[in-house]
């Protein structure tokens, strides 16, 4: 058995906790995006969709593609973790998984916005649908990206904190 320093053990525990927290967060997002994806797929097989105009069809296709992108990006960290399991690459997996998660959430925000726009078109049509779509984009953009980014920028790293503490 290889001796591990107390600092290294602490670092490894921190990485394990960070990875576990990230994977838990992704499980929440994955469930929602998979339900949305199934809903969007089912729309194409309805009678009403057969008579939909080109705008609705293109908007639907773009929305489905962003939902598929969200599924791919939000599930990729699990594949990376599984394929690199016990290879000493946990830190790399966390770094890449974080990027995938952010990109996946961006795709999910676009897919949710597109879904709201589509539903707005079916229910009210015209400018009301556009207003609903813009409102959805502003809400997702603010809650998921702008506000947390502002908080991140406001953070200051204390003098005693090292890079390992920032992984959290």
pTM of the model: 0.79
The full set of domain ranges for the chain reads: 7-155
Q: How far apart are CA 23 and CA 98, in angstroms?
A: 10
DSSP H helices, 84-141, are 90-123, 126-140
Angle (deg, nearest 10), helices 54-83 and 6-43: 150
Q: Going residue by residue through the chain, which has 168 residues, state the pLDDT in tens, using 9 for 90 and above.
A: 455 555 555 877 888 888 788 888 888 888 888 899 999 999 989 888 888 999 999 999 999 999 999 999 999 988 887 888 777 778 888 899 999 999 999 999 999 999 999 999 989 989 999 999 999 999 999 999 999 999 888 876 544 455 545 555
Whose CA is closest to 108, among 35, 24, 168, 20?
Answer: 35
């Amino acid at each position: 058995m290889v001796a591990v320093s107390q600092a290294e053990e602490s670092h490894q525990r921190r990485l394990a906790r960070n990875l576990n927290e990230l994977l838990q967060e992704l499980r929440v997002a994955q469930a929602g995006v998979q339900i949305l994806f199934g809903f969007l797929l089912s729309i194409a097989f309805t009678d009403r969709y057969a008579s939909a105009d080109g705008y609705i069809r293109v908007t639907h296709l773009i929305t489905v593609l962003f939902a598929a992108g969200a599924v791919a990006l939000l599930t990729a960290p699990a594949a990376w973790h599984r394929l690199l399991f016990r290879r000493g690459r946990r830190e790399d997996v966390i770094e890449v998984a974080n990027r995938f998660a952010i990109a996946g959430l961006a795709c999910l925000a676009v897919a949710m916005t597109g879904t709201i726009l589509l539903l707005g078109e079916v229910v009210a049509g015209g400018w009301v649908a556009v207003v609903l779509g813009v409102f959805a984009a502003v809400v997702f953009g603010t809650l998921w990206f702008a506000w947390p980014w502002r908080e991140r920028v406001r953070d200051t790293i204390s003098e005693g904190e090292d890079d390992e503490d920032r992984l959290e």
